[in-house]
Chain A
Amino acid sequence: MTKESNFKRPDGRNVDEMRPIKVKVGVIPNADGSAMFAFGDTVAIAAVYGPRKMHPQHAQDPEKGVLRCEYNMLSFSVDERIRPGTNRRSTEISKITEWALQPVLMLEKYPNAVIDVFINIIQANASTRCAGINAAALALAHAGIPMKNLVSSVSIGKLDKQLVVDVNKLEEDWEEGEGPTDIPVTMTPDGRITHMQLDGKISNEQLREVLRLAKEATKKIHEIQKEALKKSVETGGKE
């Protein structure tokens, strides 16, 4: 464990400590399923529409349903206003979000249909794609889409040489030593990786430690997700 180091995180967290997580299922009445997921100041909401008829028709798959995700940061979610609409970054994140979720969905039940997942980042302080994936997994479950399991996502960071869990903006822009390495990871509760990215520099050995930390953190997230779903069932989706 890397805990014995005296490493000081900018917000005083332990190296393996996530920011306070907030979850709420059923935040968008029009949607078939919806959820909010927050890591501290990073707030994502997700809405699921479908299964519904796939348009355009040529995109239909007669063998199984299609999962279509759209990740979008609101223009005012960061300091420098983002021009509304898609960009190269959001297009890629939309795709990796689909890949992160697909393995647990039983899409074969919905030939020719599409399941649309829309993710909006309302407020951003790094790890937005992870918050988005966590919200999306909850929204899909809330929509009653048959799933083999949930997925949970967390970002592991390497700041200089130190590994930390759930990277915030100050850490993402780490300037000392080897600088920042950002490793968002998504896993099923039994430890299967459905999504992983990396920007920076890391050794094979340390990467194994990254996965261990990710597994531990996603387990905690999974428990929180499960609780939120249970609560939404008990209250019948009412506040």
Chain B
Amino acid sequence: MLETSKLNEGKIKRYLSEGRRFDGRDLNEFREIKIETGVSKHAEGSVRVKLGKTEVLVGVKMDVATPFPDTPNQGNLMTNAELTPLSSADFESGPPKTPAIELGRIIDRGIRESKFIDFEKLCIKEGEKVWSVFIDIYSINDDGNLLDAAGIAALIALKNTMVPKYDEEKEKAIYGEHDRKLPLAENMIPISLTVHKIGDNLLIDPLKEEEDVSEMRLTTSGFKDTIFAMQKGESGTIESERMPELLELAEKAREKVILRIKEYL
């Protein structure tokens, strides 16, 4: 792996300096996005998203829980990501390691901070019973940019989520029976988008080979020109003078992504 990325690094940089990429895309171009909803019946919402050869499955489950003491009238959110050994020779079995934990947290914060989910409408009985929303992300094939694939998939899964009926007597969820859609913000979609820096080039939606030699990445979750969450990753740096360029690249890319996935939103 390391050997391959070292070999590729020079080539990728040389290509990028001429504005070219291995698969012929422009630096600001996303791969084709393929979406299939309702891929797992027992989930309250589920979706398969493919970005080129990269594939993720995201399912949303809901359960009745106790609210956190500081938010007695709000539902809970838990986002979990598994980088499965099924999806890449680079991933190992066992408890989630840092990259999986970071991925889950980035997606979680983008959704949480944007107030995309109306948590107050997920309160059943203040201080006692609320709905918990679990977003579970699984990688199926890693060909780069699992991060943005997961972000898109999480949104579409939430959009497809139906709240189970509530059994007042047993104070439990009645699975398989639903009466309403998950309460979400209208006219706002917090897309999580990652810009990578390789050499002096800024690009989006990296292939695995590109991701392996990426020096730094910045994920912004936002809608139009508002940003709700941000995370810089990897050990490289970016000059502050280049931030406007980066943010503009991200904003334009978010708009294009929204257009492409519109029919699922």
Contact = CB atoms under 8 A, between A and B. Distances in A.
B42 A77 contact: yes
**How many residues of B sit at the interface, in one of the four size bands?**
20 to 34
B84 interface: yes
B138 A120 contact: yes
Contacts of A120: 84, 86, 138, 140
Contacts of A28: 55, 86-87, 140-141
B95 to A, nearest CB: 6
Nearest to A46: B86
**How many residues of A sit at the interface, in one of the four size bands?**
20 to 34
Interface core residue of B39, B61, B96, B143 (most chain A CB under 10 Å) = B61
A79 B42 contact: yes
B46 interface: yes
A54 interface: no
A77 B59 CA distance: 8
Contact of B53 (A29, A79, A124): A29
B236 interface: no
Interface stretch (A80-88, A150-158, A184-192, A194-202): A80-88
Interface string A30-46: 11000000000101011
Contact of A123 (B39, B82, B84): B39
Contact of A80 (B53, B59, B140, B175): B175
A198 B189 CA distance: 50
Contacts of B142: 30
Interface in A171-196: none
B104 to A, nearest CB: 10
A122 B57 contact: yes
A212 interface: no
Contacts of A47: 86-87
B232 to A, nearest CB: 27
A123 B176 CA distance: 14
A76 B85 contact: no
Interface stretch (A11-19, A67-75, A141-149): A67-75
A87 to B, nearest CB: 13
B85 A70 contact: yes
Q: Per DSSP, are chain A's interface residues mostly helix, strand or loop, or mixed?
A: loop
Contacts of A75: 59, 61, 80, 134, 136
B43 interface: yes
B86 A77 contact: no
Contacts of A122: 39-40, 57
B174 to A, nearest CB: 10
B134 to A, nearest CB: 6
Nearest to B95: A85
Interface in B61-114: 61, 63, 80, 82, 84-89, 93, 95-96
B162 to A, nearest CB: 13
A131 B203 CA distance: 41
B242 interface: no
Contacts of B40: 43, 74, 76-77, 122-123
15 contacts: A28-B55, A28-B87, A30-B142, A43-B40, A74-B57, A76-B46, A76-B134, A76-B136, A84-B96, A84-B136, A118-B84, A120-B86, A120-B138, A123-B40, A124-B42
Given A28-B87, A45-B140, A122-B57, 14 more contacts: A28-B141, A47-B86, A52-B89, A77-B42, A77-B43, A80-B63, A81-B61, A81-B134, A84-B96, A84-B136, A118-B85, A120-B84, A123-B41, A123-B42
Closest 8 CB pairs of A and B: A76-B59, A79-B175, A76-B43, A118-B86, A81-B61, A47-B86, A75-B136, A123-B40
Interface of A: 28-31, 41, 43, 45-47, 49, 52, 70, 72, 74-81, 84-85, 116, 118-120, 122-125
